[in-house]
Structure 1
Amino acid sequence: MSEALKLKRATYHLWTFTISKLISSFGAQVYALAISFYILQMTGSATSFAANLICSILPRTLIAPFAGYVADKYPRKTIVITAQIATTIAIGGLLTVSVISGLSLISIYATTVVIAITSSFSGVAFTSSITGLVDEARIQKAMSMNQMSISFAAIAGPALGGVLYGAVTMPIFLVIYMSASGIAVLLESTMNFKLFAKRKEIVEGEPKESMLQSMKAGLSYLRLQPVLMTIIWISLVINFLFGAFQVGYSFILIEKMKMVSTHFGLTEGASAVGMILMSIYLSVRKELKYPLRVGKWGIIGMGLAMGAVILPLITQFPYNGMFAFYATVMFSFGILVILVNTPIQVMMQKMIDDDYKGRVFSILETMAMALMPLGMVLFGFLYDVFPPQWILGTSSAVLIIVVLIMARPSVVRKAHPELDKSKTVKAETVQE
């Protein structure tokens, strides 16, 4: 295939990938809201609701390493499409149960587990395939458009779900999700996952690695990449400390500041708006030159935004001023999340060999998925014992200090050796 045709095909992938993600994410958001409301209305139990969350998080945590192995050993297009079809069938099964005998908690939990497993396979395989779908110059654009579609679905999905919940039956919600998943399968089936891929050819007669050997090889590969290890450790610290923000933000606004639910929802919506706007900006601008340095200062900005949440607890704010303040903080936080995530993801896409991407991304997902609920449980306990301003203020300070240490100038220069060259050129220019 000629280079011009490959670039044209890559453009098609950009839009197909984005639309597929938008449709499937939108369906998932509508379904998640409907199921959450349904469980709470059917049981009135927070425990039953939490059990559904566990059914979503735990399988993904356990299955991610296996999903990474599969993504590196088998055709990624087959994995993505098979996983999406399995999701469609699972929702179809739940729809059948709801029509025949009505929904039960067991059927909902079982479907949630299946969807969690299939989304893990699909997510790891898709993430590992970005550099195979689009040319290197447009990886940032692809990552930005992917994030933009997810953020848009996060805003529009719950909004539509909330409107529909009182107007239509549960089977209608399931039909919406099943249709969205089916359309995603059709779109994904038209994509060439090997267009720009640089995977090794399988040699006949070559001894095959066992799954355990393959996973060990993935860990060994990571240990030989110090910059990647730094990025992963920083991301794990963020995921853990983010529990303080997730629990604390809701606790402070609802319990301490007595903000009404509508205004609370609007402040959270401001975060999604910030994410969309920054995603659009990054999708149209040229690739950021020093992603780790940008990510470092973006994380410091996130730490400051986390710390800012406690200001109305320390200083008196009028109600409208408090609402405007939190909306601004969350809008800024949304911008910073994308400013950190997108350049770092682009950097990782370029740094990691195609044959190791599945295992590396699955290791990251496993550790992050394990740390997030752990952080939320720990900080949930701490907020019942200590004043929230102490917990969130300390977490904010720890995040900033850890990033300043782990992403110190020597580490940033190791990731971007061209920084030293640019300084040398500037110094020579000044001397002249």
Structure 2
Amino acid sequence: MDQTLKLKKATYHLYTFTISKLISTFGAQVYTFAISFYILQLTGSATSFATNLICNILPRTLASPIAGYVADKYSRKKIVIISQIATTVTIITLLAVTLTSGLSLLAIYITTCVLSLTSMFSGVTFTASITGLIDKDRIQRAMSLNQMSISFAAIASPAVGGLLYGAVSMSTFLIIYICASIVAVILEATMDFNLFANRAQKEDGQQKESMWQGLKAGVNYLKLQKLVMTMIWISLLINFLFGAFEVGYSFILIEKMKMDSQAFGLTQGAFAVGMLLMSIYFSMGKEVKYPFLVSKRGIIGLGLLMAAIGIPLVVELSSLLTFIYYATIMFSFGVTVMIVNTPLQVLMQKEIDDDFKGRVFSILETMAMALMPLGMVIYGFLYDVFPPQWILLTSSLLLIGVVLFLARSSVVRKVHPEYGEAKRVPKVAGTVI
């Protein structure tokens, strides 16, 4: 294909990919918001809420390596489309169950497990396909636009979900999700996943690699990536401790603060606004020079914000001040999460070989989420027994301590050898170090 035509097609991918993500994410988040609120209002238990989170996390953790192998060995376009179709069929089935026998916790848990698998296969494959869809010079822009679409959906969906919850039936939420998923399938079917792909062609007569051999090759390749390996070990403990926020935030606001659905939805939207603004900043600014160091500082910031969530449980605030406080906290969370994630995502897209992207990203996700289900169970129990503010404070101190130890200065210098020489140089406008 002519280079000019390829660049035009890449531009089409840039916006089709963004719109597809926006539509499918909006439907998914409206569904998630409604289901979370439904479970908490039905049971009033943090344990039940945590169980649904586990149904989302555990299947992803177990099947992620398989998804990475599949993404590296088979047609990535087919994987994405089949995953999205499976999502649509799953929600249609849940809608049918709801209309015939009513919505139950068991039906919700089963649906969450299936959706976890389909979204994981689609997500890993899409992430591994970025450099095949978009030319290298616009990868950072693609990642930023992708995050902007997710942020737009995150801003709108909690607000819409909060306004609609109680005003319409659960069936309406499911129908919205079904429509969004169908549109996403249509858009994804028009994309060329091999436009800029640099994957090795299998030679005639070459022995087919088994799944175990493929996974082992991915692990061996990953061992050579110092930055990724360091982040994996940090992520193991960070994701476990972050269960204090994942379980505690909704539990505190809905059960302890008795915040209504509209206000709760708006605080969730503030998180997305923070992510959106930082996405715009990263799409316009220069690439981060020392991404590992930025990530370290960002995680410390997340620890401090997590501790701050418990303050209104100790200091009495009016309803308005409580809403403003949590909206500010969530906005700051959104900003800080982007500071942690975006620079590393762009770096890994450019550095990891195209034939290993699926396995590397899936292994990274598996390792990062390996302790999260255990964290959900433990924190679900702790929030039903102990004061939430002390759980948050203890977890945040452990979070900061883990990062300061595992990402100490000597480790930063190994990841960024040039940092020791450059740290005395004044910051350049548009960079974060």
- Normalized against structure 2, the TM-score is what? 0.85
What's 1:130 paired with?
130
The number of aligned residues is 424
Contact map agreement 1:90 1:114 (CA 8 A) in 2: yes
Q: Which letter maps to 1:57? A: I
> Residue 296 of structure 2 corresponds to which residue in structure 1?
296
Q: CA deviation at 1:318?
A: 6.3
Displacement of 1:139: 2.0
Matched letter for residue 362 of structure 2: S
Q: Deviations over 1:198-257 (max 9, x none)?
A: 211112212222111211222222223222111112222221111122334445556666
Determine the C-alpha separation between the residues in 1 that align with 2:325 and 2:39.
34
Which stretch of structure 1 is more off in the superposition, 47-56 or 284-293? 47-56
Return the index of the structure with the highest Cα Rg.
Answer: 1
1:187 CA displacement = 1.0
Aligned to 2:400: 400
Report which stretch shifted further, 343-352 or 52-61: 52-61
3-state SS, counterpart of residue 354 of structure 1: coil
Matches within 5 A, 1:13-412: 13-35=13-35, 53-95=53-95, 101-103=100-102, 105=104, 109-166=109-166, 168-250=168-250, 263-312=263-312, 320-383=320-383, 386-412=386-412
Bigger CA drift: 158-167 or 297-306? 158-167
**Alpha-carbon spacing, 1:297–1:3, altered in 2? closer, same or farther (3 Å):** farther
Comparing 80-89 and 28-37, the one that deviates more: 28-37
Question: Do the aligned residues in 2 keep the contact of 1:239 with 1:372 (CA within 8 Å)?
Answer: yes
CA, structure 1 residues 243+95, in 2 after alignment: closer, same or farther (shift >3 Å)? closer
Contact 1:94 1:103 in 2 (8 A): no
Moved more, 384-393 or 70-79: 384-393
Q: Partners in 1 of 2:317 and 2:175 — Cα distance?
A: 46
Give the match for residue 431 of structure 2.
Answer: none
1:385: how far off?
A: 5.2
**Other structure's SS at 1:348 match:** helix
The CA distance in 2 between the partners of 1:390 and 1:35, in whole Å, is: 28
- Consecutive unaligned residues of structure 2, counting only runs of 5 or more, are 427-433
In 1, Cα distance between equivalents of 2:62 and 2:300: 31
Letter in 2 for 1:177: Y
- Secondary structure at 1:355 match in 2: coil
Q: Which residue of 1 aligns with 2:430?
A: none
CA distance in 1, matches of 2:209, 2:398: 41
Question: In the superposition, relative to structure 1, how do residues 103 and 5 fare at CA in structure 2: closer, same or farther (>3 Å)?
Answer: same
Q: Following the alignment from structure 1 to structure 2, what is the Cα–Cα distance between the partners of residues 309 and 395?
A: 12
Matched to 1:234, the amino acid is I
User: Which amino acid in 1 is paired with 2:234?
Assistant: I
Distance 1:280 1:380, change over 3 A: same
Q: Distance in 2 between matches of 1:127 and 1:157?
A: 23
CA distance 1:48–1:306, change in 2 (3 Å): closer
Cα distance change of structure 1 residues 391 and 110 upon mapping to structure 2, 3 Å threshold = closer
- Tell me how far apart the structure 1 counterparts of residues 129 and 205 of structure 2 sit (CA, whole Å): 26
Cα distance, 1:117 vs structure 2? 2.1
Distance in 1, Cα, partners of 2:252 & 2:44: 23
In structure 2, how many angstroms separate the alpha carbons of the residues matched to 1:50 and 1:400? Answer: 24
**Stretch deviating more after TM superposition (50-59 or 148-157):** 50-59
Q: What's the % identity of the aligned pairs?
A: 67
> What is the alpha-carbon root mean square deviation over aligned residues?
3.2
Kept in 1: contact 2:50–2:376 (CA 8 A) = no
Answer 1 or 2: which has greater helix percent: 1
Going from structure 1 to structure 2, the CA distance change for 1:195 and 1:420 (only over 3 Å counts) comes to farther
Deviation at 1:265, TM superposition (A): 4.3
- The answer to whether the Cα contact below 8 Å between 1:59 and 1:113 also exists between their aligned partners in 2 is yes
Deviates more, 1:4-13 or 1:353-362: 4-13
Contact 1:65 1:366 in 2 (8 A): yes
User: CA deviation digits over 1:42-74, x for unaligned, max 9?
Assistant: x76868776655443333232222111101111
